[in-house]
Chain A
Amino acid sequence: MSFELRATGSVTAIEGPLLFLKRVVKAGLGEAVEVEAADGGVRPGRIVALDEDRIVVELLENTAGLGIDDVVVRFRGEPMTMALGPGLLGRVFDGVGRPRDGGAPVPAMVRKRVDTGTINPALRGLPQDFIETGVSSIDILNSLVRGQKLPIFSAGGLPHDRLAAGIAQTARLRGEGAEGFAVVFAGIGISYDSAEAFRTAMEKSGALEHTAMFLNLASEPSAQRLLTPRYALTAAEYLAFEEGRHVLVILTDMTNYCEALREVSASHGEIPSRKGYPGYMYSDLATIFERAGLVEGKPGTLTQVPILTMPADDISHPIPDLTGYITEGQIVLDRALEHKGIYPPVNVLPSLSRLMDQGIGEGYTHPDHPALAQQLFSSYARATRVRVLSSVVGRDGLTDVDRLYLDFGNTFEDRFVHHEEMRPFEASFAIGWEMLAMLPERELSRLSDKQIARHIAPLRETAGEATDG
């Protein structure tokens, strides 16, 4: 630091993570401080409020053990920054960017503020490269493209960790190797097991050397959770826009982040909005999610797959609700599908990828991919309506066509959505058409005659031959 101000004996009160100081130095909003206690421990913090008489500092570590009289506060004179340089990959950091794998700190080529990264919307590149994830319900129906932010809406006990690890291992542009690819994993208030399971999965597939991990474990201070995704994204931006890599950022679990936000907001005495969450939660989440994207004239891309667990499986809860308004779609995991033994239990109807149309079709996947997706959605939506009907009037009360839909719905879940192993795009694409071949042509109003002739008619012929023989 170029200069440093120290304040001793100026603390007037400590409440939870907040430290109230007399305003004895000139310091700006959002600047970083370090608080040194009598025991010699140094706790990082930042200035969260200011007026003429006092400064409010939020500490990012446990405040237990701090006294009022013997505390030394060092003002850094700048917002929170992170030192960045080569060698980020393969390392494990804590929630505020300090090595936790026993290794040396990363050589500091540049220092970047952790809370900026607003990409000028006029300078954004258009995300349009299809990423193959190996998951049929994503690749065919809710395609992920580079630079997108596509969260997984999950709930306690659902296999979101396994799905995310699977995507992190597989996600590539079609026909591309692992060079230039990187994963940044931000564990926000997660358990040690979850973090370890992810690490092991990456290690097994040999992808660990392309991975940087930022971990704020469940046992660590919640105020740090507000910074963990920001440190992780600052590192990811360095990897993407300075080193030119294609970075996939997994943020888990954003629900813990929002809980921490509520906790800190309450301790500031702010007026709560829905369910006690602060009114600025939308803007705050946006500063994280909007850091995904492409920048014109820079190599590299930053794709986000945040994971959140919906409290009480409720998709209308403020956390998934606000997230859904910011992100470019969502992948919704469903408990009922999980109970049927379907993996990954993706409920395709509420799932959505807003950027899908930019990354599929002619030149990306297959010219008929959009029509296939449209028709599968339309037919499966009808199948779920018929399912409700049949639960009231019984299978016998249905018309012949509706019975076909009922069978279509079940087969779609068992054969298309369900697959234990990662599945290449071509296989998913072929199975999609097989599903549609179960329905009469009249029901396929989203397909042109040519598309039916190209993909469905050959399947009918082989099926016909099989029955004949």
Chain B
Amino acid sequence: MTHGLITSVAGPVIKARRDGPITLGEAVRVGHDALLGEVVRLSSTEMTAQVYEDTTGLAPGDMLTGTGAPLSVRLGPHLLGHIFDGLLRPLRHDLAPVSYDVEHMVNPGDRVSAGQKLARVSGPAKDQFILVPAGVAQAEVASIESGSYARDDSVAILRLPDGSEREIALTHTWPVRQPRPVRHRLPADTAMVTGQRILDSLFPVARGGRAAIPGGFGTGKTVLQETLAKWCDADVIVYVGCGERGNEMAEVLHEFPALEDPRTGRPLMERTVIVANTSNMPVAAREASIYTGATVGEYFRDQGFNVALMADSTSRWAEALREVSGRLGELPSESGYPAYLSSRMSEFYERAGRVETLGGGEGSLTIIGAVSPPAGDFSEPVTSHTKRFVRSFWGLDRGRAQARFYPAIHPLQSYSEDAAGLTGWWTAHGNPKWPEQRGRVLDLLEAQAELERMARIVGKDAMPPGQQLTLLCADLVDDAFLRQSAFSEMDRTCSPEKQTAMLSVLMQFFDRATAAVARGADVQAIAELPVYRRVSRMGEEIADGDLDAFVALTAEIDAAIGGLKLEGQDEL
């Protein structure tokens, strides 16, 4: 063990003289309380470390000890359903089960290779798997037995080609900053269904995709992240609360166990891992928590699950990076952030992907990062760098949020590069017209922005009926389709089938109304039809499975608009 003598302490950063070899990135134990730290800089005699815990009370002269390993976290079946700090240490010690039922999937004497499933750990929501470690190319199973095991017990022994033996435990450690290996990457052509109409239908994210949610304070980033965590169709959710509010974690912990996963019927909490480093917890651990989350996500991906990682918020992570960088006396770049900000961000987002695992299965890790730009300004460094690394960009808008129009995603500031690859997926899910419908809705919203600018000069009354109708239809898209109430049981999540039905109702309305206006119908009269209100509230009033109601609504549109009096008919 290499030791060091602390020479200076400044916030989370300490300097020490060392008496032996130590490596960059090595985890160290600092002071009497053995606080966890990580070596961030080395010179011939000196070393600098960032400490992941409160450094109050540390003094020059205190000792520091190298651990000989990079900063690592413990992965295993104990993660699902629980809450951990930024370094994956449990925040509640009283809740984890004491033993796990393990059933072997290979037999002694079998030849196995990296990533292969050795045993199944049965759980309430889903079975988890114990895999052959990534470094083991070939091995023979020396022993393996089904039974009940405690968290740190050894479950199997592998005999390696060189004759040595390796114990395989229920849990293992993995360095957080090192991506877990995969066989190869697969194309992103499967949609991750979020249950949010504006996302799935307009700005979808693929499984293994990367998305960002930028927005000033109060625009609903956290509510959206939580909504996604609740209703998206991933097998495992990793929720990283990075530098955010403690009460939000409390909310997740209280709410998720009570909510039911619509696909499995089990409490949502059972598919969730929470990594919490709230804003008042040590800043260096906030920097690590993002990587911890990604490592946990990859761990489940390697077992063949589709994983969604929500990071709220990546700006707090970037600020932690900035704070530590400042303490290290590094030369600041844009807005005081270190020059390596963008490369660190790209490393993080690159850990997302749909892959063929080492064991030959298929899994995915989708990363959705919230961004909190200062003053809501999207041109600041964290947002602008994020834009370069994500494929789906969901910009939140203050105006919409102030009108309590949620999700407050601005359709003209958002984009999705994944959309082009998902036409096939939508066709397979019953909507071959999706690209065309999506295009029409986006065109309508584009036209709305332009016409509203015009209305500001000439007044709405002075606009020709065709343009007034465009505004009316765009309002309807906003109200009926893009707005979705997270608190309405009927509306909080929306299946692809319901989205398809709603889109076709809207298309029918546009077509009928356009034809009627062309024949001379009054736009105001269309707005006053009771069916207009029915359509604008269909999300909240028609249940997900009730597709007949949408057919009925379409018929109602035909009848109501068809029955309108045309201009000039009054006098006849």
B403 in contact with A122 (CB, 8 Å): no
Name B141-195 residues within 8 Å CB distance of A.
Answer: none
B58 in contact with A121 (CB, 8 Å): no
B474 to chain A, nearest CB (A): 14
B92 in contact with A122 (CB, 8 Å): yes
B465 to chain A, nearest CB (A): 13
B375 in contact with A316 (CB, 8 Å): yes
Asked if B326 CB lies within 8 Å of chain A CBs, one says: yes
B60 in contact with A271 (CB, 8 Å): no
Asked if A279 CB lies within 8 Å of chain B CBs, one says: yes
Q: Which of A50, A294, A392, A402 contacts B59 (CB 8 A)?
A: A50
A52 in contact with B60 (CB, 8 Å): yes
- Stretch from A57-65, A177-185, A374-382, A458-466 contacting the other chain: A374-382
Task: Report chain A residues within 8 Å CB of B540.
Answer: 448
B402 in contact with A273 (CB, 8 Å): no
Residue of B whose beta carbon sits closest to that of A296:
B250
Task: Report chain B residues within 8 Å CB of A374.
Answer: 404
Asked if A438 CB lies within 8 Å of chain B CBs, one says: no
B276 in contact with A358 (CB, 8 Å): no
A13 to chain B, nearest CB (A): 18
A398 in contact with B460 (CB, 8 Å): yes
Task: Report chain B residues within 8 Å CB of A349.
Answer: 402-403
Knowing A350-B402, A357-B487, say if A393 contacts B57 (CB, 8 Å): no
Asked if A68 CB lies within 8 Å of chain B CBs, one says: no
Q: How large is the interface on B (under 10, 10 to 19, 20 to 34, 35 or more residues)?
A: 35 or more
A381 in contact with B251 (CB, 8 Å): no
Name B234-262 residues within 8 Å CB distance of A.
Answer: 241, 243, 245-247, 249-251, 253-254
B402 in contact with A381 (CB, 8 Å): yes
Task: Report chain A residues within 8 Å CB of B460.
Answer: 389, 397-399, 402
Task: Report chain A residues within 8 Å CB of B332.
Answer: 271
Residue of B whose beta carbon sits closest to that of A122:
B91
Task: Report chain B residues within 8 Å CB of A316.
Answer: 374-377
B56 in contact with A126 (CB, 8 Å): no
A259 to chain B, nearest CB (A): 18
Task: Report chain B residues within 8 Å CB of A31.
Answer: 57
B237 to chain A, nearest CB (A): 17
Give Cα distance in the complex from A125 to B479, angstroms. Answer: 35
Asked if A267 CB lies within 8 Å of chain B CBs, one says: no
* Among B245, B254, B326: residue with most chain A CB under 10 A: B245
Give Cα distance in the complex from A280 to B58, angstroms. Answer: 20
B249 in contact with A121 (CB, 8 Å): yes
Residue of A whose beta carbon sits closest to that of B279:
A286
Name B28-87 residues within 8 Å CB distance of A.
Answer: 55-61, 83
Asked if A79 CB lies within 8 Å of chain B CBs, one says: yes
Residue of A whose beta carbon sits closest to that of B31:
A28
Task: Report chain B residues within 8 Å CB of A273.
Answer: 322, 335-336
Task: Report chain A residues within 8 Å CB of B7.
Answer: 51-52
A30 in contact with B56 (CB, 8 Å): yes
Asked if B405 CB lies within 8 Å of chain A CBs, one says: yes
Q: Which of B60, B249, B326, B537 contacts A124 (CB 8 A)?
A: B249
Task: Report chain B residues within 8 Å CB of A442.
Answer: 527-528, 532-533
Task: Report chain B residues within 8 Å CB of A318.
Answer: 374
A377 in contact with B58 (CB, 8 Å): no
Asked if B456 CB lies within 8 Å of chain A CBs, one says: yes
B61 in contact with A26 (CB, 8 Å): yes
- Stretch from A102-110, A154-162, A211-219, A326-334 contacting the other chain: A326-334
Asked if B200 CB lies within 8 Å of chain A CBs, one says: no
The interface bits of chain A over 76-91 (1 if a CB of B lies within 8 angstroms of the residue's CB, else 0) are 0001000000000000
Asked if A283 CB lies within 8 Å of chain B CBs, one says: yes
Give Cα distance in the complex from A379 to B280, angstroms. Answer: 38
Give Cα distance in the complex from A79 to B10, angstroms. Answer: 16
A293 in contact with B246 (CB, 8 Å): yes
A398 in contact with B459 (CB, 8 Å): yes
A393 in contact with B375 (CB, 8 Å): no
Give Cα distance in the complex from A350 to B216, angstroms. Answer: 11
Task: Report chain B residues within 8 Å CB of A358.
Answer: 251
Give Cα distance in the complex from A47 to B541, angstroms. Answer: 62
Give Cα distance in the complex from A26 to B61, angstroms. Answer: 8
Give Cα distance in the complex from A122 to B250, angstroms. Answer: 6
B280 in contact with A441 (CB, 8 Å): no
Task: Report chain A residues within 8 Å CB of B83.
Answer: 121-122
Q: Which of B280, B374, B403, B533 contacts A290 (CB 8 A)?
A: B280
A445 in contact with B402 (CB, 8 Å): no
Q: Which of A325, A382, A399 contacts B403 (CB 8 A)?
A: A382
B326 in contact with A271 (CB, 8 Å): yes
Asked if B457 CB lies within 8 Å of chain A CBs, one says: yes
A378 in contact with B59 (CB, 8 Å): no
Residue of A whose beta carbon sits closest to that of B529:
A442
Task: Report chain A residues within 8 Å CB of B527.
Answer: 442
The interface bits of chain B over 287-320 (1 if a CB of A lies within 8 angstroms of the residue's CB, else 0) are 0000000000000000000000000000010010
* Among B56, B61, B316, B322: residue with most chain A CB under 10 A: B56
A287 in contact with B218 (CB, 8 Å): no
Asked if B418 CB lies within 8 Å of chain A CBs, one says: no
B58 in contact with A29 (CB, 8 Å): yes
Name B381-414 residues within 8 Å CB distance of A.
Answer: 398-399, 401-405
Asked if A370 CB lies within 8 Å of chain B CBs, one says: yes
Task: Report chain A residues within 8 Å CB of B508.
Answer: none
B225 to chain A, nearest CB (A): 13
B34 to chain A, nearest CB (A): 16
Asked if B278 CB lies within 8 Å of chain A CBs, one says: yes
Residue of B whose beta carbon sits closest to that of A280:
B323
A445 in contact with B537 (CB, 8 Å): yes
Asked if A138 CB lies within 8 Å of chain B CBs, one says: no
A389 in contact with B280 (CB, 8 Å): no
Q: Which of B59, B245, B279, B528 contacts A26 (CB 8 A)?
A: B59
Q: Which of B61, B249, B278, B316 contacts A282 (CB 8 A)?
A: B316
B8 in contact with A51 (CB, 8 Å): yes
Q: Which of A23, A279, A287, A445 contacts B536 (CB 8 A)?
A: A445
A29 in contact with B532 (CB, 8 Å): no
Residue of A whose beta carbon sits closest to that of B532:
A442
Give Cα distance in the complex from A301 to B458, angstroms. Answer: 55
B18 to chain A, nearest CB (A): 15
Name B523-565 residues within 8 Å CB distance of A.
Answer: 524, 527-528, 532-533, 536-537, 540-541
Name A133-159 residues within 8 Å CB distance of B.
Answer: 147-148
A381 in contact with B403 (CB, 8 Å): yes
B376 in contact with A51 (CB, 8 Å): no
Name A203-250 residues within 8 Å CB distance of B.
Answer: none
A283 in contact with B279 (CB, 8 Å): yes
Q: Which of A283, A292, A388 contacts B323 (CB 8 A)?
A: A283
Asked if A18 CB lies within 8 Å of chain B CBs, one says: no
Knowing A51-B60, A283-B283, say if A121 contacts B403 (CB, 8 Å): no
Give Cα distance in the complex from A280 to B405, angstroms. Answer: 33
A290 in contact with B59 (CB, 8 Å): no
Task: Report chain A residues within 8 Å CB of B357.
Answer: none
Task: Report chain B residues within 8 Å CB of A393.
Answer: 456-459
Give Cα distance in the complex from A187 to B456, angstroms. Answer: 47
Name A391-430 residues within 8 Å CB distance of B.
Answer: 392-394, 397-399, 402
**What 3 pairs between A and B have smallest CB-CB spacing?**
A397-B459, A381-B403, A286-B279
Chosen A-B contacts, 30 in total, with CB atoms closer than 8 Å, are A26-B61, A28-B57, A50-B60, A121-B249, A122-B83, A122-B92, A123-B91, A124-B250, A127-B247, A127-B250, A271-B326, A274-B374, A279-B319, A279-B326, A282-B316, A283-B243, A290-B246, A290-B279, A294-B250, A321-B217, A330-B217, A350-B402, A370-B487, A374-B404, A377-B402, A378-B403, A381-B403, A397-B459, A399-B461, A402-B460
> What is B's interface to A at a CB cutoff of 8 Å?
7-11, 15, 55-61, 83, 91-92, 216-218, 222, 241, 243, 245-247, 249-251, 253-254, 276, 278-281, 283, 316, 319, 322-323, 326, 332, 335-336, 372, 374-377, 398-399, 401-405, 455-462, 479, 487, 524, 527-528, 532-533, 536-537, 540-541
> A28-B57, A287-B280 are known contacts; what are 10 more A-B pairs with Cβ within 8 Å?
A29-B9, A50-B10, A121-B241, A124-B247, A124-B253, A283-B319, A330-B217, A349-B402, A381-B399, A399-B461
